[in-house]
Amino acid sequence: MKILGIDYGRKKIGVAIAEGSLASPLKVLKSPFGEEIAEIIRAENIEKVIVGISEGEMANEAREFGEELLRKSGVPVEYEDETLSTHEAQRLSQEAHIKRSKRKAMEDAYSATLILQKYLDRS
């Protein structure tokens, strides 16, 4: 089963993908990103989407985003806690000695990877 992981943000979102038990970063999309996500879902034959959920207002926005994605794509959407995913992604990419410019450019995709991997590990 191919699964798409999303780290939702107002201006950009990180996207990760998994087929099997290992998540990989895919890309970072900048707003508006609706059509790009739909294209990824089609091109990659995505069967499920996992959206990271934080707290408060951003959690509500992420849920609304997930519901809209479900309506537009018909692909099931589930939610996974994303608490500290960005911080953890930054730490791990520093430990891996990834250059600062690449870390910054792919930070949201790395966060999406951690969110998706957490979901996969729990499933």
Domains in the chain (CATH in brackets) are 2-122 (3.30.420.140)
**What is the rounded average pLDDT of the residues 83-96?**
60
- Helix/strand/coil for 77: strand
Collapsing DSSP states into helix, strand and coil, what is residue 75? Answer: coil
Q: Crossing angle for the helix pair 85-95 and 100-122, nearest 10 degrees?
A: 120
Task: Write down the pTM of the prediction.
Answer: 0.86
Contacts of 97 by beta carbon, 8 Å cutoff, 6+ apart: none
- Residue 5's pLDDT is what? 97
pLDDT band at 110 (very low <50, low <70, confident <90, very high): confident
C-alpha to C-alpha distance for 23 and 18, rounded to whole angstroms: 4
pLDDT at 63 over 70: yes
Confidence of residue 4 (pLDDT cuts 50, 70, 90): very high
In the predicted structure, residue 102 carries a pLDDT above the cut 70: no
**DSSP class per residue in 12-51:** EEEEEEEESS-EEEEEEEESS-HHHHHHHHHHHT--EEEE
pLDDT at 111 over 80: yes
**Neighbouring residues of 8: CB distance < 8 A, sequence distance ≥ 6:** 51, 52, 58, 61, 62, 65, 66
Phi then psi for residue 26, to 5 deg, are -110, -65
